[in-house]
Copies of this chain bind each other. A is one copy, B any other.
Amino acid sequence: MAHHEFEPTTYHNTFGWHEPPLTVQPGDSVRTSTVDARGGDRHGNTVANRGNPQSGPFAVAGAEPGDTLVVTLDRVRITRSWGFSSSALAANVLEFDDVPPFEDEADRSFWDIDLEAGTIRLQPPERAPAGEPTPARNRIHDVALPLRTMVGCVAVAPPGRQHISTATSGPFGGNMDYNGVVEGLRMYFPVFAPGGLFHTGDGHALQGDGEMDGTGVEVPMDVTFTLDLIKDKTIEWPRFENDTHIMTAGNLRPLDQAVQHATSEMVRWLEADYGLTTREAHLLLGRMVEYDLGNMFDPAYTMICKLRKDVLREVVGG
């Protein structure tokens, strides 16, 4: 159960079968830093190419295709006092003919982050960075919004030696941009490549459901996680677990198909790990299933299927 400190010097813009700079034993933990979605570090220096550059990948000794990689997010902290977001909802989340005219040209917004108060606040117009249009002052400038630190990208290497853009997601996880990926979450990924190869990056300070503007107040972070392994256990889509819920993620367009994958995976989970019959799984989900919209911005959309653990415990005992 060793702990590793790892400062990346290179970053990847694909989820892929990259040479792992660090290989750990099952049960080990790692603290690493991540840069923001455009490659900016804690000092605001651009140290990687834009497009969700990833730290890692981190290999787990002994992980082979057919296993499950378990990643627990032990600690997730923002390492900069500011972040940026888009200033507009994406075209594909609005009606086809809803093309809003805006009052200013400020496509990008900059936010001050107060880690102690746990809030973010839009920077006043007069502080617009050089080269950025000055936004019109508006009432959002006067409000402190609650911090909700999360990780946009968590992934293993995709199947079949693929290298896939960090813009998107799939059965391997990826840029799911689900605002439930927070400190304390346990995540399960199918292993496709030897070592599993865990990638992470794209920190967010506050992202609405669905990442409807394509951003999450983009920030660099310090992330500490524990890597573990379940040998000879095959899953098809990412699975999550927190104190209250078990969750499955489906990543695809359109949302309908993301729901289908997440729901079928939840049934498989209940059958394989909790011993429910198919009938029990369907009866329970029909009454108690919950869904979250992960993202509806990226090339693949994400829907999360959830079930309360207290109710599940009542069913299976223990």
CB < 8 Å neighbour of A255 from B207, B217, B256? B256
Interface magnitude class on chain A: 35 or more
Q: A14-B162, A285-B208, A286-B89 are in contact. Are A102 and B259 (CB under 8 A)?
A: no
Each complex incorporates copies of this chain amounting to: 4
CB distance from A125 to the nearest CB of B (A): 12
**A6 contacts the other chain (Cβ, under 8 Å)?**
no
Of the listed stretches A20-28, A34-42, A222-230, A261-269, chain B binds A261-269
Residues B285 and A89 in contact, CB atoms below 8 Å apart = yes
Which one of A16, A96, A136 has the highest number of Cβ atoms from chain B below 10 Å of its Cβ?
Answer: A96
Residues A282 and B98 in contact, CB atoms below 8 Å apart = no
Residues A91 and B96 in contact, CB atoms below 8 Å apart = yes
The contact string, 1 if C-beta is below 8 Å from chain B, for chain A 175-211, is 0000000000000000000000000000000111110
**A278 contacts the other chain (Cβ, under 8 Å)?**
yes
CB closest residue in chain B, given A159: B165
A164 to B289, CA, bound (A): 29
Residues B283 and A138 in contact, CB atoms below 8 Å apart = yes
Of the listed stretches A60-68, A70-78, A139-147, chain B binds A139-147
